[in-house]
């Protein structure tokens, strides 16, 4: 494997025009039906129709690392924990593995580091001198049940502390009541509060009841100017699944066809293995093409996945599986 296999890492969105949004157009989704059985059948074939092995598998796993939002969102987060997380983001794979892959000079990092707003300054300090963006959850994460004024202030606070990306949570009630005007106005206000920071809209799909609601919420969020749409907070009972991701990606494609704009996608929650990393990348490649395998348009919200990816890469390099205790903890 050679470093030339991959494009040079870059800050998310640095080379792309942001999604400007558009006026609310309910006709783009209101009558759009989603066949759950067909979506589930299509998703089930993704991991059976395509198999990647050896060097190809290693390449897919290295690309997954480039797209991971390495995250800590715990109640006992400290500056020390964030500093350790950032150190892992800067050097996500052990040196001997990089040497075995001939990637020691590539500059491999994760796609971003994601923290709570109060931890943003610690992350910014720890990542100084790198091109790794700092992402912050906001808007009353994970429930989002705070007055809109306070949620907007939380966005401005995180951006003011140095966050490059903001992961917002939508009000699920707007979707369940199909109050699309309220959802559009909310996301548009959040986008404005973000300023230059990119907005990732978390739909909390496990709370939305139907795939039709998932499609509609995806479309409204993009119309309101979201730069990414994201499946979950990771705190719902059901988080990222392939059928839900398929529906959101079809919404991305439809929005792109209608507007010419590229919007990113981030599955999050419930993904833990290298096999998961490959499955979601296969979904992106088959539905949207290679362009959506770059970190400015695709992120994986799954920090625990990195440990399994590193173990699989060590097996590729050495022929042996190492104990997880040999690898630095993110």
H/E stretch holding 313: helix 305-318
Kindly name the residue from 69, 88, 227, 230 that is annotated as catalytic. Answer: 230
Smallest Cα–Cα separation from 40: which of 217, 203, 236, 244?
244
Kindly name the residue from 88, 207, 266, 296 that is annotated as catalytic. Answer: 266
Q: Which residues of 12-25 are buried (b: 16+ CB within 10 A; e: fewer)?
A: bbeebebbebeebe
Q: Which two tokens stand for residue 56?
A: 């190809």
Kindly name the residue from 69, 88, 167, 296 that is annotated as catalytic. Answer: 167
Cα distances (Å, whole numbers) of residue 172 to 51, 247, 309 = 37, 18, 33
Is 207 an annotated catalytic residue?
A: no
Taking CB atoms within 8 Å and a gap of at least 24, the contacts of 129-132 are 130/90, 131/9, 131/10, 131/11, 132/86, 132/89, 132/90
Instruction: State the greatest distance between any 2 C-alpha atoms of the chain, in Å, as a whole number.
Output: 56
Is 149 an annotated catalytic residue?
A: no
Strand 198-202 vs strand 228-230: parallel, antiparallel, or unpaired? parallel
Is 266 an annotated catalytic residue?
A: yes
Active-site amino acid positions: 167, 230, 266
């Amino acid at each position: 494997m050679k470093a030339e296999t991959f494009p040079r890492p870059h800050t998310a969105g640095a080379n792309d025009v942001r999604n400007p949004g558009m006026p609310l157009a309910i006709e783009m989704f209101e009558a759009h039906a989603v066949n759950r059985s067909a979506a589930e059948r299509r998703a089930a074939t993704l991991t059976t129709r395509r198999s990647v092995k050896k060097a190809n598998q290693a390449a897919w796993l290295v690309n997954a690392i480039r797209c991971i939002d390495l995250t800590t969102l715990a109640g006992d987060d400290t500056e020390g924990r964030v500093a350790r997380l950032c150190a892992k983001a800067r050097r996500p794979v052990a040196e001997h593995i990089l040497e075995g892959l001939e990637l020691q000079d590539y500059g491999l990092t994760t796609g971003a580091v994601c923290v709570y707003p109060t931890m943003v300054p610690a992350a910014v300090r720890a990542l100084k001198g790198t091109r790794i963006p700092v992402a912050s959850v906001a808007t009353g994460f994970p429930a989002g049940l705070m007055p809109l004024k306070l949620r907007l202030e939380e966005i401005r606070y995180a951006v003011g502390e140095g966050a490059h990306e903001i992961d917002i949570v939508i009000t699920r009630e707007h979707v369940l009541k199909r109050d699309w005007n309220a959802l559009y106005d909310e996301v548009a206000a959040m986008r404005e509060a973000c300023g230059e920071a990119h907005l990732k809209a978390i739909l909390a799909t496990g709370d939305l009841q139907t795939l039709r609601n998932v499609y509609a919420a995806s479309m409204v969020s993009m119309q309101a100017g979201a730069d990414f749409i994201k499946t979950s907070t990771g705190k719902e009972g059901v988080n990222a699944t392939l059928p839900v991701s398929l529906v959101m990606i079809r919404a991305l494609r439809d929005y792109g066809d209608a507007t010419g704009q590229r919007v990113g996608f981030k599955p999050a929650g419930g993904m833990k293995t290298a096999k998961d990393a490959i499955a979601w990348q296969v979904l992106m490649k088959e539905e949207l093409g290679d362009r959506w395998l770059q970190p400015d348009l695709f992120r994986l919200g799954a920090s625990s996945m990195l440990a399994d990816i590193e173990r699989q890469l060590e097996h590729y390099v050495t022929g042996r599986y190492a104990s997880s205790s040999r690898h630095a903890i993110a």
